[in-house]
Chain A
Amino acid sequence: MSDKPIIDLRAVTKKFGSVEALRSIDATIREGEFFSLLGPSGCGKTTLLRMIAGFDSPTTGTIAIDGEPMAGVPANLRPTNMVFQSYAIFPHLSVADNVGYGLKRKKLTKAEIAAEVEKALAMVDLVGYGNRAAHELSGGQRQRVALARALVMRPKVILLDEPLSALDKKLREQMQVELRQLQKQIGITFILVTHDQEEALIMSDRIAVMFEGQIAQIDSPEGLYRRPASKRVASFIGVMNFLTASARPSEGGLLVKIPALGQIKLDRSAMPKGFDASDVKTVGVRPEMLTILFERTDTAEQEVKGKVLDTSYYGDMTYYTVELPGPDEPVTISMRNTAGRSVLPAGSEVRVGWGSDSLVVFE
């Protein structure tokens, strides 16, 4: 991965009639990056992908690929290739003819095309499948053919429109890992559209979270999870407990009062830029950032008393719903199940440990 920008989106908007599908999208995607557009259905992520591919054009704003503005350049002349949600395998052609479809336009001999097709099939682990008919393939195999068909063109960018949504869970998880490894190996920029936050976290170098035609935040998976920019992003990516809070400046940082937990001093760096102490209305805390202190000897930076209301057992984890002091809803705490520790029954009085690292501040 380099720092060279491969796709540059500047103030891109899209209107369908009076409906604004995309509002002022600005983003730079770097060469060799695995970039995801993540959001609920109808957030405009597919529209944005189709505009990069050239199937749609922005109402205003510019899209540049590798430094060249793409306005007026049709899809067949763009250095991008797409893997469609339905795979769009040509049903009347064999696997090899599907993969070699785009090469026929290039000036290659038959032998060269066959060699390229073989190479692409090897990349997606489909050696020996060249003569199969399209309808003889399983869902996972069709997905691989669609990918090979794009790879063989050696585009600057490969666009993937929810490519794994039609597969069952096991195969999907396997493909997530394979796709990521393949992308790292060949170094082509991938842009993935997905509504599955787990998929985006597993596969991406960076993720753009989109709501209602706008990008809410662009960050690495860890950055998004640990430092979500808004409550909406925080609750879209994983689970987040929200607690009422207030804050006032204190030397070198701010003092945050949380009725449910207590009081803590946070570093100034914990606050988003342009944020004042008076803006703090809520803190967020992930279920795994709170700990139930099982043993008398267990300690934490801070602790508070709570009462278990309910438990959900997941095998490796147990999720506790715990009532804390103050006006807030009960919080969810996840605890890894270890040897020799049984699940606490509802009604148990517990000590809950937390610390300054656990918190994210919001408006």
Chain B
Amino acid sequence: MNSAKGFRWLAVYAVAYMIFLYAPVVLLPLFAFNDATIIAFPLKGFTSNWFTVLWETEALHGAVENSLFVGISTAVLSTILGACAARAIARYRFPAKQSLVGFIMLPLVLPEIIVAVALLVMLMQLGLPLSLWTVIGGHVLICVPFSVAILNSAFQGLDQSLEEASFDLGETRWGTFRRVIFPLVLPGVISSLLITFTISLDEFIIAFFLTGTDVTLPVYIWSQLRFPAKLPSIMALGTLLLALSVTLLVVAEWFRRRQAKRQGIDPGSTPQGYI
């Protein structure tokens, strides 16, 4: 009886917790479809007008293009770097390995504003002009730890004797990579690409500090918040971004689970090691 009562309280707590987490997120689509310029209850009526406004805003299109460029570049670069690091962590022993890994993972816990300011000061000192490439550099810095964590579990799960077996059966090093290693870590690579892309797409502080005249989507949204009339269309934009992020994360998780299943690991477990 006691445990049944305990379970009920636990359920109430869980529901309250979910409301606390997601209620603000639900407001976004709610006002995006609300037929009023002022963001306040009660709701006035349904409209998809704000999405049409978005479609017609030229500056927004530029911001989307910039964000896609930054996001894709960041995803590719940090996944390549992450793959190299994960492979080294899984396969080799070298001096100061633990501390090196620690330094690679450190940006996970560093406040982004500190990273952003430090990078800005450094770029100024070096005399490099701010551009989308400096944003990409900053994003790669914060995305590599995620990529390493995801790919580390992919490479750890890779039995070394598989490579030896391939080599033993007459295959070359490159052929072994192409026919055994790559197919086995591919789900992890895709998962890493999607997650780092999503992080870069949503990131604001670094993009705000390090960009030149070209703005990314979050920076554009920030600039538009000064105009109350634009608020509902920003809500609409936020709704689209939210849907995109959730979709990408779900797809990424699906790939990660498929990877785990292929390697015979319990797919319910979180990536091993660093998360």
Contacts and interface: CB of A to CB of B under 8 A. Distances in A.
Residue from A88, A92, A102, A105 with most neighbouring chain B CB atoms (10 Å): A88
A84 B165 contact: yes
Contacts of B264: 91, 135
A90 B180 CA distance: 7
A275 interface: no
Interface stretch (B57-65, B166-174, B223-231): B166-174
A162 B240 CA distance: 57
Interface of B is mostly: helix
B162 A88 contact: yes
Interface residues of B, number: 20
Given A92-B184, A135-B264, A76 B164 contact: no
Residue from A77, A90, A105, A149 with most neighbouring chain B CB atoms (10 Å): A90
Contacts of A82: 164-165, 168
Nearest to A54: B168
B166 A53 contact: no
Nearest to A86: B161
B138 to A, nearest CB: 36
Contacts of B166: 90, 101
A75 B262 contact: no
Contact of B161 (A54, A76, A84, A101): A84
Contacts, number: 62
Interface residues of A, number: 24
Contact of A86 (B159, B172, B183, B263): B159
Given A86-B159, A88-B165, A76 B262 contact: no
B168 A53 contact: yes
A153 B159 contact: no
B165 to A, nearest CB: 4
Contact of B172 (A76, A80, A90, A153): A76
Interface string B168-204: 1111100100011001100000000000000000000
A76 B159 contact: no
B171 A76 contact: yes
A81 interface: yes
Given A90-B162, A91-B264, A76 B170 contact: yes
Contacts of B180: 90
B170 A105 contact: yes
Contacts of B165: 82, 84, 88, 90, 149
Contacts of A90: 162, 165-166, 180
Contacts of A80: 168
B184 A91 contact: yes
Interface of B: 159, 161-162, 164-172, 175, 179-180, 183-184, 262-264
